[in-house]
């Protein structure tokens, strides 16, 4: 289906002396399927209305100027008639111009002529400007319809315009297909946004979780020998005692210990081994008492029957599966770790984790070594001590 478009045409002229001529041009443009635009309803002396005229010219495809025997009202500031100002603006904005000039203005009736010599001089100069464009000459209003029709046919060929089309015709198959794609994309993005908002609504706020210097309780299975078993020389692998124990590091200690493994992606096996090493360190600190006064105190309080029931050595303290899983989930909820994304062979069924950007920043704060900076007072004190050293 062909798309029908209509060009908008601005009609410019003096008004009172060219009423019949304007009517003839207007009718011809309508018959040529154009949209005429004229400023008959706006007084030419109103500067604000001239700003409106310029906006209307901007929307037009072609500019038509009709010149008879009068120059028209002169703007006090520009010293140009409003018709010439409209013409100058159309030329400035590169609108195709169609001029229709009276062939012999001297033969026009006196009421259609300017008697002032200065205005006649301005009119002649204005006609000379317009004659540099495409012009046709008329003598009677009945000459204009044919001339305008031919000029429109010619300008459409030499300067095709964008024109206006009906909204229904603007929907070509290509535009409809593109619009359908855009609508589908909007639906897709809307669904993603709703899902993201729902996820955010259900997600935990990390600020509500224990973290930093707050305690993380880790359950482990300690393997050890009692002190008296070691002292008697009867400590063997086969008679190690196993018992459940809970250590209480802070979450910063957990990250500080586990973090280096996760600076690059790490499988869960090495992660669990590292966490178990932390459990071993802390359980030894909790359970192995080397001070003999501790034994003396227990005997005095009746907590011992004279034997040494202290833990002699702890050999391993593997973290339990539940505690390890709790640590993974909690660090992930805090936004400190996330699952790895590197490609690996299909035979590798391990789960990998890595530090997030936030996790790396926090680990650096915990483990990076800072230089010792002396205060001004300390520096002064050191200088004084040096001065007092005898030579």
- Residue 194 inside a domain? The answer is no
- Residue 198 inside a domain? The answer is no
Shared domain check, 130 and 68: yes
pLDDT at 73: 85
- Residue 82 inside a domain? The answer is yes
Shared domain check, 236 and 128: no
pLDDT at 295: 53
Domain stops at, among 137, 170, 203: 170
Assigned token pair, 391: 């030579």
Assigned token pair, 20: 């019949």
Residue 60: CA atoms inside 13 Å, Cβ hemisphere, count? 29
pLDDT in tens, the chain (391 residues): 566 789 999 999 998 899 999 999 999 999 999 999 987 655 554 556 788 889 999 999 999 999 999 998 888 888 999 899 999 999 999 999 999 999 998 888 888 898 889 999 999 999 999 999 889 999 999 999 999 999 999 999 999 998 888 776 666 777 778 888 898 888 888 888 887 776 665 566 778 889 899 999 999 999 999 988 888 888 899 899 999 999 999 999 999 999 898 998 899 999 999 999 999 999 999 998 766 555 555 555 555 444 567 888 999 999 999 999 999 999 999 999 999 888 888 888 899 999 999 999 999 999 888 777 655 666 666 556 555 545 4
Per the structure, how many domains does the chain have? 2
Nearest C-alpha neighbor of 280 from the set 249, 301, 252, 306: 249
Shared domain check, 157 and 41: yes
Assigned token pair, 25: 């041009």
Shared domain check, 303 and 243: yes
Shared domain check, 164 and 39: yes
- Residue 71 inside a domain? The answer is yes
Shared domain check, 164 and 24: yes
Partnered with residue 107 across adjacent β-strands are none
Domain stops at, among 154, 170, 186: 170
Shared domain check, 154 and 236: no
pLDDT at 391: 44
Shared domain check, 283 and 159: no
Burial per residue of 85-119, b for 16 or more beta-carbon CB atoms within 10 angstroms, e otherwise:
bbbebbeeeebbbbbbbbeebeeeeeeebbeeeeb
Contact residues for 300 (Cβ-Cβ < 8 A; gap 6+): none
Domain stops at, among 143, 170, 197: 170
Pseudo-torsion of CA 292, 295, 301, 306, nearest 10°?
Answer: -130
Partnered with residue 138 across adjacent β-strands are 102
Shared domain check, 332 and 223: yes
Partnered with residue 319 across adjacent β-strands are 220
- Domain with residue 39: its CATH number is 3.40.50.10140
- Residue 204 inside a domain? The answer is no
- Tell me which residue range forms the domain holding 76: 5-170
- Residue 202 inside a domain? The answer is no
């Amino acid at each position: 289906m062909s798309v029908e478009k209509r060009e908008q045409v601005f009609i410019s002229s003096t008004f009172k002396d060219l009423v019949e001529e304007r009517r003839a041009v207007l009718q011809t443009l309508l018959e040529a399927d154009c949209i005429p635009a004229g400023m008959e309803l706006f007084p030419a002396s109103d500067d604000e209305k001239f700003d409106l005229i310029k906006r209307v010219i901007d929307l037009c495809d072609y500019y038509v100027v009709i010149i008879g025997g009068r120059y028209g009202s002169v703007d006090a500031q520009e010293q140009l008639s409003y018709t010439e100002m409209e013409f100058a603006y159309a030329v400035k904005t590169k609108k195709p111009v169609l001029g229709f000039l009276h062939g012999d203005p001297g033969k026009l009736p006196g009421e259609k002529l300017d008697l002032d010599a200065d205005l006649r001089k301005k009119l002649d100069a204005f006609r000379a400007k317009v004659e540099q464009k495409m012009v046709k000459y008329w003598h009677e209003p009945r000459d204009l319809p044919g001339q305008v029709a031919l000029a429109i046919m010619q300008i459409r060929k030499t300067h095709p315009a964008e024109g206006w089309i009906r909204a229904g015709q603007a929907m070509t198959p290509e535009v409809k297909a593109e619009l359908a794609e855009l609508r589908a994309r909007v639906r897709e993005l809307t669904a993603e946004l709703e899902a993201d908002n729902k996820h955010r609504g259900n997600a935990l706020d990390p600020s509500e979780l224990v973290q930093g210097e707050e305690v993380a309780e880790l359950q482990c299975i300690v393997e050890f020998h009692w002190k008296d078993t070691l002292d008697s020389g009867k400590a063997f692998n086969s008679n190690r005692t196993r018992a459940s124990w809970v250590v209480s590091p802070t979450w910063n200690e957990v990250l500080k210990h586990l973090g280096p493994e996760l600076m690059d992606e790490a499988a869960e096996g090495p992660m669990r081994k590292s966490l178990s090493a932390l459990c071993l360190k802390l359980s030894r600190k909790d359970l192995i008492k080397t001070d003999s006064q501790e034994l003396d105190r227990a005997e005095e309080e009746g907590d011992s029957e004279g034997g040494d029931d202290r833990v002699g050595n702890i050999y391993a303290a593997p973290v339990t599966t539940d505690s390890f899983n709790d640590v993974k989930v909690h660090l992930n909820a805090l936004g400190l770790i996330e699952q790895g994304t590197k490609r690996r062979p299909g035979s590798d069924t391990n789960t990998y984790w890595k530090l997030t950007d936030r996790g790396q920043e926090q680990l650096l704060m915990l483990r990076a070594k800072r230089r010792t900076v002396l205060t001004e007072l300390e520096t002064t004190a050191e200088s004084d001590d040096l001065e007092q050293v005898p030579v």
